Amino acid sequence: MDIVDVETTPFEGQKPGTSGLRKKTRTFMEPRYLENFVASIWSGIGGVAGKTLVLGGDGRYFSDRAAQVILRMAAAGGARKVIVGQGALLSTPAASHLIRKRGTDGGIILSASHNPGGPEEDFGVKFNTANGGPAPEEVTGRIHEATRTIEGYRILEAQDVDLERIGTTSLGEMEVEVVDPVADYADLMESLFDFAAIREMIAGGFRLTFDAMHAVTGPYARELLETRLGAAEGSVRNAVPQPDFGGGHPDPNPIWARELMEAMHAEDAPDFGAASDGDGDRNMIVGPGMYVAPSDSLAILAANAELAPAYRDGVRGVARSMPTSRAADRVAEKNGLAAYETPTGWKFFGNLLDDGRVRICGEESAGTGADHVREKDGLWAVLLWLNVLAASGKGVVELVHDHWREYGRDIYSRHDFEGIETAKAEALIDDLRGRLADLPGREVAGRRIEAADEFSYTDPVDGSTAAAQGLRIYLEGGGRIVLRLSGTGTTGATLRVYLEDRTEDPDRFGVDTQEALGEVIAAAHEIARIEHHTGRTEPDVRA
């Protein structure tokens, strides 16, 4: 087998975003595009020679081809070994676990997460470091730098490796170990939670439904919920991973998981509903007739985690991304936990988890997780919910209402304006940034502005900084508006407007979220001049 040196030139725009490099699948399929980025990862990590990596992904279209290319480039670079999930499948949290369990030098995850898959849709490549977490900014910065100056890459000429057969083979000098993608992860979950109590609850008639959205969590959820916990066969729906996710959008929110929402709002709704996304790191929780907002879910899990064996000694601290509602802060304050506010993106939680400052983290974008891995973890959240329900004897709705009675309710929604021309979206942010200092004291849509700033973050562990992480406007009475541009889209810009208000009045706990946020929404449009800059009056998605 020969190693071939290929000459290349840089591609524009190979800058890792909030979560790796995401582009249209066709872009990744262009000659040399994937190869350039992979070679740049090798440069960014100081070369791959002698290293052991994990490789897998959510099984989306082009993953099988991309995996073979990455294996041949790892072999050409002198890697010692690559551990691959069978069929190139590994959920993001399972990949994180495998990196940590096997003590590897990191791993590559092939996924564009909740974005649709297929030849006309999205693909993505992400590098995780030896702690199992997404590469920090310092590493992604070096990778980006390498993409701008690359002149060539090395690749082995070889036949495809059989990734369907579990076991060890070799590719040139490099070892390739194909592993069962589910088993290690399922064992980890069983070590964290009281499976006996959950099993007993289910045997006692508790009904659940989980929507894998034709994505990677199907086999994981079947093993955990049906085989190990005894949920009825068929409790996991859309359980077979497909390269185009059945033509759907594997994003667990009330819009894309409509089938699940309908089941949970039916007369005979099960006691518990949940869904996960393309690569298994996000989660959606639904009770009979009630969608649980991710920010509330984070707060409720932080408040009740001690009911699960892994967290019996306490959770020490909780971290949330800045746009996530402040519900988790209230739990921290009342229970003497440390609380951290980080920029959007899971990579910012890594140091806090490594340093033992927090054990539970979460984002408003349906991501919750803990210190067992260094990624958010959809099935972990589902299992912790089940553990809390089993140990408390409460139903989902009762648990949420009890929580609000104790801590108040942070009413929350995110409005996304998608496919905006990038220049216009940037102009909106620049315009508002220039006016921030003049906002405090003004009254807009009947609400007085108390404060306004641009969020920047200094990591308390290593002192690294991240500037320009979103514009924040605080309203009197506990309201808040946050604006930022998405770092994961593949077409134009997405403006995210995060809206939040506060109530301690139990009579308002049942109100419709959008209605309750009416004033805050009106204030956001007026302050940010959304229509003036984008021509839009309504968002595309209300999450």
- Of residues 36, 140, 368, 486, which one binds ligand G16 by CB under 6 A? 486
Q: Which is nearer to ligand G16, 79 or 257 (CB)?
A: 257
Q: Are strands 409-420 and 493-503 parallel, antiparallel or unpaired?
A: antiparallel
Q: How far is the CB of 277 from ligand G16 (least distance, A)?
A: 6
| Shortest spacing between CB 485 and ligand G16, in angstroms | 8
Beta-carbon count within 10 A of 523 CB: 22
448 or 542: CB nearest ligand G16: 542
Q: How many CB atoms lie within 10 A of CB 423?
A: 10
Question: Mask 370-399, x = binds ligand G16 (CB under 6 A)?
Answer: ------------------------------
Among 409, 496, 525, 533, binds ligand G16 (CB under 6 A): 496
Which value, to the nearest 10 degrees, does the dihedral of the CA atoms of residues 128, 132, 137, 138 take?
A: -90
Residue 147 or residue 486: which is nearer to ligand G16 going by CB? 486
Min dist. Cβ of residue 18 to ligand G16 (A): 3
Q: Which range touches ligand G16 (CB under 6 A), out of 210-218, 344-352, 437-445, 516-524?
A: 344-352
In contact, 100 and 184? CB cutoff 8 Å: no
- Looking at the Cβ atoms of 218 and 323, the one nearer to ligand G16 is 323
Spatial distance between the Cα atoms of 390 and 383, rounded to a whole number of angstroms: 10
Tokens 């059989």, residue? 162
Torsion of CA 412, 486, 110, 50, to 10 degrees: -110
In terms of C-beta density within 10 A (0-12 exposed, 13-18 middle, 19 or more buried), how is residue 214 classed? buried
CA dist., res. 280 & res. 380, Å (int): 10
Q: Which of residues 298-327 bind ligand G16 (CB under 6 A)?
A: 321
Q: What is the nearest approach in angstroms of ligand G16 to the Cβ of residue 434?
A: 23
CB 276 within 8 A of CB 283: yes
Shortest spacing between CB 324 and ligand G16, in angstroms: 8
Q: By CB under 6 A, is residue 488 in contact with ligand G16?
A: yes
Q: List binders of ligand G16 among 396-455 (CB under 6 A).
A: none
For residue 497, the minimal CB distance to ligand G16 (Å) is 11
- The answer to whether 346 contacts ligand G16 (rule: CB under 6 A) is yes
Nearer CB in complex with ligand G16: 282/447:
282
Write the Ramachandran bin of 339: left for phi over 0, alpha for psi from -120 to 50, otherwise beta.
beta
Q: Which of 97, 94, 23 is nearest to 60 (CA)?
A: 23
Q: Measure the CA–CA gap between 445 and 61, rounded to whole angstroms.
A: 47
194 DSSP 8-state letter: -
Is residue 60 within the footprint of ligand G16 (CB under 6 A)?
Answer: no
Catalytic residue check, 113 = yes
Considering only 35, 122, 281, 377, the residue that binds ligand G16 (CB under 6 A) is 281
Residues between 173 and 212 that touch ligand G16 (CB under 6 A): none
Exactly one of 282, 326, 447, 502 binds ligand G16 (CB under 6 A); that residue is: 282
Burial class (CB in 10 A: 0-12, 13-18, 19+), 317: buried
Q: Is 114 in the site for ligand G16 (CB under 6 A)?
A: yes
The Cα–Cα gap between 158 and 503 comes to: 63
- Residue nearer to ligand G16 on the CB measure, 100 or 496: 496
| Token pair recorded at residue 295 | 């920010």
- Closer by beta carbon to ligand G16, 72 or else 376: 376
- AA identity, residue 263: A
Assess 19 for contact with ligand G16 (CB under 6 A). Answer: yes
What does the DSSP 8-state code read for residue 523? H
Q: Using CB under 6 A, pick the residue from 365, 368, 469, 534 that binds ligand G16.
A: 365
Q: Which two tokens stand for residue 123?
A: 């693909």
| Footprint on residues 115-154 left by ligand G16 (CB under 6 A) | none
Q: Does 249 bind ligand G16 (CB under 6 A)?
A: no
Total binding residues toward ligand G16, as defined by CB under 6 A: 17
SS3 5: strand
Q: Look at residues 31, 33, 32 and name the one whose alpha carbon lies nearest to residue 22.
A: 33
How many Å apart are CA 253 and CA 481, to the nearest integer?
A: 21
Q: Which of 202, 533, 157 is nearest to 382 (CA)?
A: 202
Angle at 374 between CA 208 and CA 223, to 5 degrees: 30
Task: Indicate whether 368 belongs to the interface with ligand G16 (CB under 6 A).
Answer: no
Q: How far is residue 240's CA from residue 235's CA, in Å, rounded to a whole number?
A: 13
> From the CB of 220, what's the least distance to ligand G16, in Å?
16
Stretch that binds ligand G16, among 152-160, 263-271, 286-294, 339-347 (CB under 6 A): 339-347
User: 419: how many CB neighbours lie within 10 A of its CB?
Assistant: 14
Which one is catalytic: 111, 113, 365, 413? 113
Is residue 297 involved in binding ligand G16 (CB under 6 A)? no
Instruction: Kindly state the smallest distance separating residue 217's Cβ from ligand G16, in Å.
Output: 13
Of positions 141, 487, 492, 518, contacts ligand G16 by CB under 6 A = 487
Nearest residue (CB) to ligand G16, 282 versus 326: 282
> Closer to ligand G16 at the Cβ: 109 or 386?
109
Among 526, 519, 528, 487, residue whose Cα is nearest residue 500: 519
Binding residue (CB under 6 A) for ligand G16 from 10, 15, 18, 24: 18
Binding site for ligand G16 (CB under 6 A): 18-19, 113-114, 281-282, 321, 344-346, 363, 365, 367, 486-488, 496
Would you name the residues annotated as active-site residues?
A: 113
